[in-house]
Amino acid sequence: MADDATTAPFNGTIGNQFESFRSQLDESGNLRDRIRNIALQIESVTRIMLANLLLVHQPRSISEVLEKARSHIGVLQEHYNQLSGIVQECPGQYYRYHNDWRCETQTAVSLLAFMHWLETGNLLLHPEVEEKLGLNELNFGLDIEDYLVGICFMSNELPRYVVNRVTYGDYDSPREALNLLTGLHAAFRTLNLQNDFLRKKFDGMKYDLKRVEEVYYDVKIRGLIDNAGSKAHQ
């Protein structure tokens, strides 16, 4: 009799509650598996784009390198559209699953920003990244911190870029990179960065700026800048 009294609550209210938990966890797990599958596809595309962009560190036409990398942006858009559709199946749960694709998005931002700078000499703005990825700010937008981390990742590539470009005779690239990093560094300093990872990445930008400054001053002291045509390497 005592055993029946003990197990009765589990078979009733408690049992119903945990059956509901099981159903919710199963549904969440299936959703997360679908999200991770799309995230893996995004990671695969960005890996190919990065392999294409690494060719800018060699004596190649930048326009040709950009054309190959740009050809994959449409595929990225398709994947983000798929991801948006999955996340919208659970309204209000964006940040519950956000970590499952944030690293891939930060990489995508860095690649798109680097490509944009190579092409225009300007920073790719947050709304412009959303447009390139086909994101709808109201339903599935680009998290601001993911954008900022991606920009920090992009800055990490600039010191290597200017060193290699100077080696191949492009003496104007240090000035162009320095202009971008100087403005970025000043802009980041206006932010109250609460995210530890983002703050560390910003600290790294300071070293990127210093390294590019050193290359620029070396080229300037040698009197090589006056002989270089802006964007002549393209």
Q: What is the CATH number of the domain that holds 234?
A: 1.20.58.200
- In tens, the pLDDT along 164-185 reads 999 988 899 999 999 999 999 9
Distance (Å, whole) CA 112 – CA 207: 22
- pLDDT value for 31: 84
Amino acid at 219: V
Domain that holds residue 71: 1-102+136-141
Tell me the average pLDDT across 176-203. Answer: 93
Distance (Å, whole) CA 10 – CA 82: 40
- pLDDT value for 230: 43
**Which residues neighbour 144 within 8 Å (Cβ) at sequence distance 6 or greater?**
126
Tokens of 72: 């994959």
Distance (Å, whole) CA 154 – CA 76: 18
Q: Which helix (H) or strand (E) holds 220?
A: helix 196-221
Tokens of 203: 């600290």
Q: Is residue 36 part of a domain?
A: yes
Amino acid at 64: E
Give the phi and the psi of residue 230 in degrees, each rounded to 5: -60, 125
- pLDDT value for 6: 52
CA atoms within 13 A on the CB side of 33: 6
Tokens of 130: 């959303």
Q: Which helix (H) or strand (E) holds 210?
A: helix 196-221
Distance (Å, whole) CA 66 – CA 130: 19
- In tens, the pLDDT along 54-82 reads 999 888 889 999 999 999 999 999 999 99
Which of the listed residues 141, 169, 196 is the one where a domain comes to its end? 141
Number of domains in the chain: 2
The answer to whether residues 161 and 229 belong to one domain is yes
Q: Is residue 170 part of a domain?
A: yes
